């Protein structure tokens, strides 16, 4: 196995940082934690806790093994483009091995037959191990993905543990109903695990997407074959090792690193996979759905792209609105499916909003994500970097006004300066396409009817943001906007119990909360005749 040690030690000053207090108790929501990061002063040297990469193979039937072909692929450090490690490359034969292990674990193994309470105890122990290894997991996540270490360590890993505890709590509370019948029959419903769940996760939030999918699947008693994003395979492998330390039986969770057309396609079309969950782009989601339909008609949940409107009304406190809109777009390097990437601003405050948004973007701290106080790290890879730069070029050529940014940051890695466009029109590519990068498009509107029409004029419907002091305005927009989540005077609040998913081409089904359990259960009706109907 490839092993590499990070040499720098985490500083004592960070260990006692006020940021660590953000994730205590009920204050661990994403929005509450992240928005405090910008107040830090960047350290001179990167902070990088020591960690060893001992898990770069495929996880099949409880063992880390080489791919059947013996092939590997490099996973890169987005700060530099250097190779972090070579990871086993799973293909169709490896998917077959993993699905066979998951099938045997479901049909013959102890996991579905355990009492729900026993399953919950394993999930709770896993959450405890996540907290114990918080800094190592955060280091791997930042190293492979490029997001700020403070975001990983103080918000995302604690949230990961919170999500697992949430689903652990659900494991022994899943039950059916008794149903009144018109005749002399006793009728009951059973809610049973669906079987082998195939899951494909993206690279922008590797561990949170892992939790969103693995948590409900295992709580319901299913087994899992997960395909990680080829850009970010390392953290899922590491935490899956911890899952087995917590007592997860072999074959219940299998993790395959590989590429979409080979490993992902094989998983989506596999005849022995009973359910499929995918998070990624809308275009890829269409392919996944077609592969699933053409195989065994397995049910599919999809969490896809977005082009979320963020509406700043005329009564808004402009300073607060600027900060919230900035966070809504630039969080996670703009690599967020629900990013507020169409900022609609009322004409009465438009000019002031533009000037202050430009000033805020210029102040945004970009740099090595292992430095304290850094708000924005590199984009995930060269392909994404080039895609974003092409959209910036398109914005300039189509007549939008470039207020700030628009250029590479530094001379190595995949960093882009925070970019703000004004005078954006609805028909420009930067206003229509999901850029998935640090590019804010600001559009002007006159009244509610107009902004409702324009905000809904998109193939997406994942999320939307509303900033207003007027409850009637808020209620009007909340009811009129066609999106799965509406944030009012906040953004990116991802509590474990809040369902998440999209309208239109932003997907189907919901993740997180009670609604996510339905994705991994099937309902069985049981009807028994009553011999003495006189007692009815």
Catalytic residues: 303, 337
Hey, is 311 helix, strand or coil? strand
- By CB atoms closer than 10 A (0-12, 13-18, 19+), residue 116 is middle
Phi, psi of 465, deg, nearest 5? -125, 145
**Measuring CA to CA, which residue among 177, 470, 90 is closest to residue 314?**
470
Q: Report CA torsion sign: 320, 326, 332, 337.
A: positive
Tokens of 147: 């997001």
The span from the CA of 67 to the CA of 87, in Å, is 9
Per the CB < 8 A criterion, the answer to whether 235 and 265 are in contact is no
The span from the CA of 375 to the CA of 52, in Å, is 26
Per the CB < 8 A criterion, the answer to whether 468 and 419 are in contact is no
The span from the CA of 238 to the CA of 240, in Å, is 5
- Range 441-475 burial, b when 16+ CB lie within 10 A, else e: bbbbbeebeebbebbbebebbbbbbbbbeeeebbe
The span from the CA of 420 to the CA of 392, in Å, is 10
Tokens of 369: 């994500």
Task: Please compute Rg for the chain using Cα positions.
Answer: 24
Find the angle CA(521)-CA(526)-CA(530) to the nearest 5 degrees. 160
Residue 58 makes CB contacts below 8 A (sequence gap 6+) with 64, 65, 66, 67, 88, 90, 94, 98, 254, 255, 256, 257
**Measuring CA to CA, which residue among 253, 391, 285, 296 is closest to residue 334?**
391
**Measuring CA to CA, which residue among 106, 5, 97 is closest to residue 53?**
5
The span from the CA of 471 to the CA of 453, in Å, is 20
Per the CB < 8 A criterion, the answer to whether 274 and 251 are in contact is no
Per-residue 3-state assignment (H helix, E strand, C coil) for 178-212: EECCCCCEEEEEEEEECCEEEEECCCCCHHHHHHH
Neighbours of 224 (CB within 10 A): 25
The span from the CA of 45 to the CA of 214, in Å, is 36
């Amino acid at each position: 196995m490839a092993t590499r040690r990070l040499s720098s030690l985490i500083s004592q000053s960070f260990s006692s940082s006020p940021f660590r207090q953000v994730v205590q108790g009920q204050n661990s929501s994403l929005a509450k934690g992240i928005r405090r990061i910008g107040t830090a002063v960047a350290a001179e040297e990167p902070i990088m806790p020591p960690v060893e990469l001992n898990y770069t193979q495929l996880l099949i039937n409880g063992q880390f093994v080489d791919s059947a072909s013996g092939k590997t692929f490099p996973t890169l450090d987005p700060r530099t483009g250097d190779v972090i490690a070579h990871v086993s490359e799973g293909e169709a034969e490896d998917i077959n091995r993993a699905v066979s292990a998951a099938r045997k674990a479901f049909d013959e193994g102890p996991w579905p037959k355990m009492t729900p309470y026993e399953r919950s105890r394993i999930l709770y122990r896993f959450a405890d191990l996540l907290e114990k290894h918080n800094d190592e997991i955060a280091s791997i996540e930042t190293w492979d993905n490029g997001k700020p270490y403070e975001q990983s360590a103080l918000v995302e890993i604690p949230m990961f543990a919170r999500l697992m505890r949430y689903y652990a709590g659900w494991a022994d509370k899943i039950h059916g109903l008794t149903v009144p019948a018109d005749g002399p029959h006793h009728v009951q419903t059973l809610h049973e695990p669906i079987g082998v769940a195939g899951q494909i996760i993206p690279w922008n939030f590797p561990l949170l997407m892992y939790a969103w999918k693995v948590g409900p699947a295992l709580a319901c008693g299913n087994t899992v074959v997960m395909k990680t994003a080829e850009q970010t395979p390392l953290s899922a492998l590491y935490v899956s090792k911890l899952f087995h330390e917590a007592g997860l039986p072999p074959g219940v969770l299998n993790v395959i690193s590989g590429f979409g057309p080979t490993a992902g396609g094989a998983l989506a079309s596999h005849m022995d996979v009973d359910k499929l969950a995918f998070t990624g782009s809308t275009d890829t989601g269409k392919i996944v759905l077609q592969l699933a339909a053409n195989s065994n008609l397995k049910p599919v949940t999809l969490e896809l792209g977005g082009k979320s409107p963020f509406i700043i009304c005329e009564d808004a406190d402009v300073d607060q609105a600027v900060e919230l809109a900035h966070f809504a777009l630039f969080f996670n390097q703009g690599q967020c499916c629900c990013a507020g990437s169409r900022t609609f601003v009322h004409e009465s405050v438009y000019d002031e909003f533009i000037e202050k948004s430009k000033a805020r973007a210029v102040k945004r701290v970009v740099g090595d994500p292992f430095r304290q106080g850094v708000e924005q790290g590199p984009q995930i890879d060269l392909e994404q970097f080039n895609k974003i730069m092409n959209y910036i070029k398109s914005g300039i050529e189509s007549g939008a006004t470039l207020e700030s940014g628009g250029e590479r940051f530094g001379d190595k890695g995949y960093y882009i300066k925070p970019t703000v466009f004004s005078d954006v029109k609805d028909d420009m590519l930067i206003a229509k396409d999901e850029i998935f990068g640090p590019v804010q498009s600001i559009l002007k509107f006159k009244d509610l009817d107009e902004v409702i029409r324009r905000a809904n004029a998109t193939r997406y419907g994942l999320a939307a943001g509303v900033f207003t002091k007027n409850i009637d305005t808020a209620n009007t927009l909340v009811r009129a906007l066609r999106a799965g989540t509406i944030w009012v005077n906040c953004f990116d609040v991802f509590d474990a119990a809040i369902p998440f998913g999209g309208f239109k081409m932003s997907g189907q089904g919901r993740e997180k909360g009670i609604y996510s359990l339905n994705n991994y259960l099937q309902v069985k009706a049981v009807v028994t005749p009553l011999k003495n109907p006189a007692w009815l």
